[in-house]
Amino acid sequence: MVSRVIPVDPFDLVIFGGTGDLARRKILPGLFRRFCAGQMPQEARVIGAARAELGADGYRDMVREAIHEFGGDEGSDDTKLGAFLERLHYVAIDARDEGGWRDLAGLLRHRVIRAFYFSVAPSLFGDLAERLNNHGLTDNDSRIVVEKPFGRDLASARQLNGDLAAFFDESQIYRIDHYLGKETVQNLMAVRFGNMLFEPLWNSQFVDHIQITVAETVGVGGRGDYYDKSGAMRDMVQNHLMQLLCLIAMEPPARFDPDAVRDEKLKVIRALEEVEPHHIVRGQYDADPDDPENLPDYRTAVEDPKSRTESFIAMKTHIANWRWAGTPFYLRTGKRLCARSSEISIMFKDTPHSIFGEEAGRHRNVLSIRLQPNEGIQLGVTIKEPGPGGMRLIDVPLDMTFADALGPSGAENVDAYERLVMDVIRGNQTLFMRGDEVEAAWAWTDPLIEGWTNRGDVPKPYDSHSAGPDAAMQLMRRDGREWREVTP
Ligand code: NAP
């Protein structure tokens, strides 16, 4: 199957922080792949901006190296890379200073879409917004893109929203959560709302519980300083896991348009119940016994022997509405776990009565939506084990792994950033978080963090490359349930 590529309208995309890690690893390689796919029109231009005095050639050299390293297979095609680099420009600019803004004004063209990607620390968002406005670089159709973390609590998120709202309308602000750009996440909506099969069963009458796991094998690495101020709750649950939960739990929107979808997500967040303290397990990883020098324990990695920040969190929460009353949602995420895996599992209830008897084996239908690795959707169904010997039941997967179902090009590995940046140019906000959504997510998160801080809770240690602290297993077992195995 050959996927259709529709070129977007001509644009000038300015990447503030265009020399940073995110720009080099994700944004620029993503743009290059869209260029190779034919999605960037002739007139599209990308302008890197940062304080370093690089010049256009110096910038192109830096981007060439970055694309060689992070651009995938296409990154080795020097002809295409040369053509892409010609679209690149650079201005030396300080967000907190007046220098460079006139140069930027001189580069921007009229009658093309202007998008400004704030790939810098959030503390610079307000300065950038103000200077863009003061120098008259934006119009009503200009877009700005901002990255996580969008605040560290409700007050700071409100402040950021206010800083942006002073100069931009909400319809111009694109808050990235790259989980929403994943193919499978959009497929989740297609499966839910494009088929009759699932929707009648998608409620507490038929769903026993839901598990959302985002497991990483890596530790905090060189980001210890940043991570220790944040922790798994702020870094992962408030945004990525919350977004996944919303897509699973939301009501069907009337249309697949940005505000209809985001209105429904917001209702889910507002219906989330506060989590009981004994339904939260936080953990910190121990050193890898085989390589403690390179893979030290969490507190050593963040250089704070008394740190109480969690590198793992598991919790049980409920959504107080008609559809989900009584169905628990179990969320779990952590670092230095046994496999890198992101999966949502819809665990359906057992059949009310087994006509085959208990010894035939009873199985539960599970719809698992796998975000990484091996993106795909699998439905576990029960069938008869083939062969003679009576009625024995086994579980088999009805598999929608994209690579198998659609062939190699159908499963084309479009990185989330590629899709999201193109959505910005198309002016489609469906896969971006709205300001009120982000604030509602913090309003749910804040009291939980405040609760464990005030109680002085200490995270539980867990073995490196395990499935997390034993208490997280107990959280499930107390309810007569088990976590799905974390598999690569
Ligand atoms: P980074 O590697 O530290 O890069 C920061 C960029 O901002 C550099 O280009 C830097 O260049 C520029 N910069 C710093 N101060 C500036 C100023 N006053 N005026 C203009 N430019 C300035 O950071 P990053 O990892 O790319 O992250 C950027 C943002 O994305 C952060 O908010 C981060 O939390 C978020 N994010 C990053 C990732 C990731 O994978 N890296 C993932 C999700 C979110 P100069 O020093 O030359 O000015």
Residues 254, 139 share a domain? no
2 within a domain of the structure (yes/no): no
178, 240, 279, 318: the active-site residue: 240
The one-character DSSP state at 143 is E
CA of 26 relative to ligand 1 center, distance in Å: 12
Q: Are residues 138 and 283 in the same domain?
A: no
pLDDT in the model for residue 478: 97
Residues 445, 314 share a domain: yes
List residues near ligand 1 (CB under 6 A).
Answer: 16-23, 50-52, 93-96, 119-122, 124, 147-149
Say whether pLDDT at 61 is over 60. Answer: yes
Judge whether 170 lies within some domain: no
Are residues 406 and 276 part of one domain?
yes
Q: What is the CA radius of gyration of the chain?
A: 24
Q: Which stretch of DSSP H or E encloses residue 470? A: helix 470-477
Q: Does residue 488 lie in a domain region? A: no
Q: Provide CB contacts within 8 A for 224, sequence distance 6+.
A: 301, 302, 303
240 in catalytic set: yes
3-state secondary structure of 200: helix
For the stretch 176-201, pLDDT in tens is: 999 999 888 888 999 999 999 999 99
Give pLDDT tens digits for 416-435.
999 999 999 999 999 999 99
- Burial code (b: 16+ CB inside 10 Å, e: under 16) for 203-220 equals bbeebbbbbbbbbbeebb
Residues 381 and 245 in one domain: yes
Q: What is the pTM of this model?
A: 0.94
- pLDDT attached to residue 353: 85
CB-based contact 384:391 (threshold 8 Å): yes
Nearest one of 20, 34, 18, 23 to 89, comparing CA atoms = 18
Domain of residue 333, CATH code: 3.30.360.10
Same domain, 241 and 310: yes
142 and 232, same domain (yes or no): no
Confidence (pLDDT) at 454? 98
Instruction: Find the domain containing 293 and state its range.
Output: 180-477
Ligand 1 centroid from CA 17, angstroms: 5
| 217 occurs within a structural domain | yes
Residues 118, 217, single domain; the answer is no
- The pair of structure tokens assigned to 381 is 């169904």
Residue 404 has pLDDT above 80, yes or no: no
CB atoms within 10 A of CB 302: 22
Of 129, 147, 165, which marks where a domain is finished?
147
Q: Which CATH number goes with the domain that contains 23?
A: 3.40.50.720
